[in-house]
């Protein structure tokens, strides 16, 4: 699947993933109205509205992007009808040939992690039969619980030729609260008065990055591992350091656009081969019609606005990479 | 909700939460057969089997326990029918007067965390109406993304009088990989050659625990906060340290029984008032009939076996607390 992702990135010239995070406020009123007229102002109505919204976005951009990243929280908030709209979106995107990165940020231990892995990336056994529950291509995973939590995901990925993006350094302002903590790497350093204990100190995200690099070796594609990392665009210097620590791991980079990241901040996330990173934009694309720059499209043409925003983003990244 | 939980713990004399993690191998064959006869060997059939299994467990123990903890991964693996069985289980447990702790380990940032919080603990807006998506009482949350990820959950908990259990030190063998890392707490310690930099070193889980104590102050019940912590029974000494760091936060303790924790390991998780901790057991209760000790009940009477296991667990904890 990482090979397929890279192939599609090369074909489209767009190291871009469109975040399908359809908050209700992004959905134009004419779409909401149609759905509510049919289903009422119900969870089913909301689910129908976000599905119709997604479908038009996907129809407008599927041929110029390699991948989408639906954020399951935005569907889960509408209960079971919302999750059904998530599944419908995943299936439709795959039908359109897109790689689907499920932004689920799951993470647990042992048999519980295995259940998440099986449900989202693999097949579950029911009696003598096997079924795919959600069947996405990649999933984002939280590493806080350590290898016990990650290995069951890697096992399922190996069986299914699928992949992961593991949270290393997230794009949010408070991500440093725990992730940037300087970790003592010298043994015995806890004893009071140990001199120079700080010598080997590193931030936690680097420790996690080193572990991602090791996990990645367990499931390699051709040039890159099936096991990638999430590193926020909002921390370009940390991106540079992590790029070196994880040379063969693809980096999924959120935080472009709405969260403040710009094309020039992104160059350090790429390797010399022009690969190694895929940049996410969510509201910057799907709600482009609400921005001044694309307002002339109007809410009726939100799909065309999204397409224009993808093309501008591709250009911004291309230019930044050429100028580095 | 924390007040209700404490009230129920006092009434039952059982600081016990039953983990409703129905792996298919725990479900007796007669239940599986009945479900598969009706729905086939399908995701719907699997969902029906785990729902019927849960119902009988709940009917057998609801009057002697305060709370249940369904692990959503075990349902999510069966796709949308599985999640529907999760929701049915949540509703049924609430109907029986039980406090429902949803073991969902969600965690994201900003509006995404808010969407999870709204979906699981709060109400989502659809047009002019509001709906509860899942409506559990407590949720487990992963803190790796920092305050941006936690505050939206706390906000919804304040509005709804609900609560959280935030992962601090998990019960699994590899939890130390990141959680036990010694963190440099002295400023400027990263510079090479800084002397005595290790003086203030602490493990990351203590830093997270300190933050949980602070977050907890934002949403207090009578004696304890609505914001609790998860600390594994398998690390009793760390439990002792964390008990002191988080004196007003309830600790949800997994790892009893199947994962190796014993009654005597648990005493440090409790405060002097006999409160402050609630101990989870999952397979030790729901699959008790598969253990030698309770085998005489037979698979037909798995509910009675579960009840006997709850009573033994209550006794084990009671004795350990009396002997401390």
Which pLDDT score, from 0 to 100, does residue B186 have? 63
Between the alpha carbon of residue A4 and those of residues A66, A70, B258, the distances in Å are 9, 18, 41
Q: pLDDT at position A16, please?
A: 97
Give the end-to-end CA distance of chain A in Å, rounded to a whole number: 29
Model pLDDT, residue B262 = 78
* Residue among A76, A148, A190 whose CB faces B174 most closely: A148
**What order do you get walking across the sheet with B202-203 strand by strand?**
A202-203, A182-183, B182-183, B202-203
Q: What is the pLDDT of residue A187?
A: 55
B65 CA to centre of own chain:
14
Tokens 């069947």 belong to residue: A135
DSSP 3-state helix, strand, coil percentages of chain A (rounded to 5)? Answer: 55, 20, 30
The first and second tokens of residue B116, run together, are 């999870």
Q: In chain B, what percentage of residues exceed pLDDT 70? A: 94
Mean pLDDT of chain B: 93
Longest dimension (CA), chain A: 71
Flag if A129 and B41 touch (Cβ within 8 Å): yes
Question: Worst-scoring range by mean pLDDT, A196-210, A240-254, B184-198, B286-300?
Answer: B184-198
User: Please, are residues A101 and A138 in contact by the beta-carbon 8 Å criterion?
Assistant: yes
Q: Is B322 part of the contact surface with chain A (CB cutoff 8 Å)? A: no
DSSP conformation letters of A218-284: TSB-SSSEEEEEEE-TT-HHHHHHHHHHSTTEEEEE--BGGGSB-HHHHGGGS-TTS-SEEEEESHH
> pLDDT category, B259, cuts 50, 70, 90?
low
| Helix/strand number for chain B, H first, E second | 13, 12
The pTM assigned to this predicted structure is: 0.95
Closest CA to A162 of A122, A106, A130, A103: A122
Alpha-carbon dihedral sign for residues B297, B298, B299, B301: negative
Percent of chain B with pLDDT over 90: 90
Q: Which residues of chain A have a pLDDT value below 70?
A: 186-200, 258-259, 261
Residue B271's pLDDT is: 95
Report the alpha-carbon distance of residue A185 to residue B173 in Å, rounded: 20
CA distance A252 to A46: 29
Backbone angles phi, psi at A17, to 5 degrees: -120, 130
Rounded distance between C-alpha atoms, residue A304 and residue A293, angstroms: 13
Q: How far apart are the C-alpha atoms of A107 and B149, rounded to whole Å? A: 15
Cα A104 to chain centroid distance, Å, stands at 9
Contacts of B267 (CB under 8 A, 6+ apart): B320, B321, B324
How buried is B257 (Cβ within 10 angstroms: 0-12 exposed, 13-18 middle, 19+ buried)?
buried
CA distance to partner chain B, nearest, from residue A310 (Å): 22
Q: Which of residues 267-306 of A touch B (CB under 8 A)?
A: none
What is the pLDDT at residue A205? 96
Q: How far is CA B279 from CA A101, B3, B9, B53, B322, in A?
A: 36, 17, 11, 22, 16
C-alpha–C-alpha distance, residues B31 and B22, integer Å: 12
Q: Which of residues 218-237 of A touch B (CB under 8 A)?
A: none
Q: Does the pLDDT value for residue B2 go beyond 50? A: yes
Q: Copy the structure tokens of residue B43.
A: 């995701």
CATH code, A2-322: 3.20.20.70
Note whether B145 contacts A: Cβ–Cβ < 8 A: yes
Cβ neighbours of B31 (radius 10 Å): 22
Pairwise CA distance, residues B210 & A190, whole Å: 19
Q: Which fold has domain B2-175+204-322?
A: TIM Barrel (3.20.20)
Interface predicted TM-score (ipTM) of this complex, two decimals: 0.94
For CA atoms B207, B211, B216, B217, give the dihedral sign. positive
**pLDDT at residue B264, as a whole number:** 83
Which of A73, A118, A189 comes nearest B198 by C-beta?
A189
The pLDDT-based confidence of B301 (bands split at 50, 70, 90) is very high
The whole-angstrom separation of Cα B30 and Cα B49 is 10
Q: A107 and B184: CB-CB below 8 Å?
A: no
Angle at A25 between CA A23 and CA A31, to 5 degrees: 95
Decide which of A161 and B186 is more confident.
A161
Residue B227's pLDDT is 98
pLDDT score for B198: 46
Please state, in angstroms and rounded to a whole number, the distance separating the CA atoms of residues A315 and A308: 11
Residues near B99 by Cβ (< 8 Å), separated by ≥ 6?
B1, B4, B5, B8, B66, B67, B68, B137, B138
* Residue of B116, B187, B198, B282 to mutate, testing the A interface (most A Cβ within 10 Å of its Cβ): B198
Contact by Cβ (8 Å): A99, A1: yes
pLDDT, tens only, A136-156: 999 999 999 999 999 999 999
Q: Give the chain A residue nearest B85 (alpha carbons).
A: A80
What is the average per-residue pLDDT within B117-135? 97
């Amino acid at each position: 699947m990482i090979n397929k992702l890279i192939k599609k990135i090369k074909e489209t010239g767009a190291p871009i993933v469109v975040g399908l995070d359809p908050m209700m406020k992004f959905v134009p009123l004419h779409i909401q109205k149609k759905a509510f007229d049919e289903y009422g102002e119900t969870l089913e109505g909301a689910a129908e509205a976000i599905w119709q919204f997604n479908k038009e976005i996907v129809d407008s951009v599927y041929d110029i992007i390699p991948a989408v990243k639906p954020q399951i929280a935005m569907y889960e908030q509408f209960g079971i009808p919302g999750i059904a709209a998530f599944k419908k979106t995943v299936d439709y995107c795959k039908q359109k040939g897109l790689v689907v990165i499920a932004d689920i940020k799951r993470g647990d231990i042992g048999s519980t992690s295995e259940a998440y892995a099986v449900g989202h990336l693999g097949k579950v056994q029911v009696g003598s039969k096997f079924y795919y529950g959600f069947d996405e291509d990649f999933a984002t995973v939280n590493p806080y619980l350590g290898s016990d939590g990650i290995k069951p995901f890697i096992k399922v990925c190996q069986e299914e030729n699928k992949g992961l993006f593991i949270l290393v350094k997230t794009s949010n302002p408070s991500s440093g609260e725990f992730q940037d903590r300087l970790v003592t790497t010298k043994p015995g350093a806890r004893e009071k008065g140990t001199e120079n204990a700080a010598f080997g100190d590193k931030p936690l995200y680097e420790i996690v990055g080193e572990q991602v690099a090791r996990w990645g070796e367990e499931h390699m594609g051709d040039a890159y591992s099936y096991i990638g990392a999430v590193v926020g665009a909002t921390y370009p210097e940390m991106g540079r350091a992590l790029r070196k620590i994880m040379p063969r791991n693809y980096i999924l980079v959120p935080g472009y656009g709405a969260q403040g990241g710009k094309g020039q901040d992104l160059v350090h996330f790429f390797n010399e081969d022009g690969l190694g990173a895929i940049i996410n934009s969510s509201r910057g694309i799907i709600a482009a019609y609400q921005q001044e720059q694309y307002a002339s499209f109007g809410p009726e043409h939100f799909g065309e606005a999204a397409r224009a925003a993808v093309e501008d983003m591709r250009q911004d990244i291309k230019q930044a990479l050429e100028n580095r």
